[in-house]
Structure 1
């Protein structure tokens, strides 16, 4: 995401950095986007996204669409022509709004397809003058929305939770849990809870696992832990659990 314009230099940082700096509040109130999750289907081939600019200067946004996949448990993005956004670029007047329409060029498929829709702020920005020795900043933030095209046919929900394939080779103080999404729709994993004898660990996540993909998470645990470990993942389709016998070391 594009961020502070410091004198004549532009730096890109994440929204989490903005929050840590105490700057995100001043950025967030300046723009609204609805919806922030785009879901298309064979029956709903067009979705409208409204961006409202309540600020005191015009903003210009340019769109980019990337294909999204998760081979080997990692996010991978690639250029694609399977989604069409109208208009591809637009200036939004101060106090005004703009509707962007998203449609798909794909035919019906038995697999769900995932994308990222990026609204890049390409507004012309002039940093305000500042007293000598001080730095003035002007903040521009890009917005990244997930887009899903639902699979044709009956929805299939199937998640499998278990130890990572390399869990036995990890140190005694490290655990690893893997979730395979074997269904036909993405999952949002909200949190992981691990509970053993006199020990518990809660891991907040908020991670999406695409259909047919997997993600894994490592965590620290006591080396003297014995018995079994109860593992629960809270997902958008409900809880998924398994019992993990802890091998003696």
Structure 2
């Protein structure tokens, strides 16, 4: 089956999984969930854990991560290296992947993604593949030594009405990324009309990012937006544009 270009972009960004037909889900875990590198700490490690009863093979690649037009863009890069790029993990075993920044000097924070793909196993006797293939996309940030922490006032939010609810845009005017989580939209009575528990996403330094939020009621009136960020708690009132 031919994949659409949109599906290919989303898969590369780690936003969806594109598994092969399978009868058994894979059990590949990666930790930690993000990495920070700098000139003082140019290297770090990822631990890959295979919880399955069979060995798995993985491929590890690195992409430069940008946000343009409120969309994720990934580009192959050699700024960050991984070793080994191909690995086999025994059943119930672990493998350490070393991540090294080769370009840690620079004027601003740079963002990358380490993408870990589980490779297809050999077909069984009937020629079928019997495992869901997992993909993990790990944020990696290379931060200058003199960089200051993100500030909440540098995150500018706006919204407009869309066919299915709210189209929310976040603009980060600072020099560090901002992590946004546990977002809620409340109407004038305090009723929650839309929410996204857990991690919503990152807004990279100097970039814009957007999300579509289904709303339970008409979103033409001003609303209250609440979220948790690594720069503090966000609590603002927005009036959506048409």
TM range (shorter): 0.7 to 0.9
State which structure, 1 or 2, has the greater radius of gyration over its C-alpha atoms.
1
CA contact (8 A) 1:36 1:146 kept: yes
CA contact (8 A) 1:62 1:90 kept: yes
Q: Deviations over 1:24-68 (max 9, x none)?
A: 8x423xx33222312212211111122233433322222211111
Tell me the distance in 1 between the aligned counterparts of 2:125 and 2:170. 49
Tell me the distance in 2 between the aligned counterparts of 1:119 and 1:89. 10
TM-score by length of 1: 0.73
CA contact (8 A) 1:151 1:185 kept: no
Tell me the distance in 1 between the aligned counterparts of 2:238 and 2:29. 44
TM-score by length of 2: 0.75
Q: Which structure 2 residue ranges, 5 or more long, are not aligned?
A: 1-10
Q: Deviations over 1:92-137 (max 9, x none)?
A: 233433221110110422311111112222354222549xxxx773
Match of 2:157 among 162, 167, 187: 162
Match of 1:229 among 223, 230, 233: 223
- How many equivalent residue pairs? 223
CA-based RMSD: 3.5
Distance 1:172 1:22, change over 3 A: closer
Q: Determine if the alignment matches structure 1 residue 39 to structure 2 residue 36.
A: yes
Distance 1:93 1:229, change over 3 A: closer
Tell me the distance in 1 between the aligned counterparts of 2:108 and 2:118. 32
Match of 2:45 among 39, 43, 48: 48
CA contact (8 A) 1:69 1:77 kept: yes
4+ runs deviating over 3 angstroms: 12-18, 21-24, 170-177, 217-226, 244-247
Structure 2 counterparts to residues 28-177 of structure 1, below 5 A: 28=27, 31-129=28-126, 137-158=130-151, 159-164=154-159, 167=160, 170=161, 175-177=166-168
Match of 1:182 among 173, 188, 194: 173
- Deviation for aligned residue 1:79: 1.0
Tell me the distance in 2 between the aligned counterparts of 1:213 and 1:84. 25
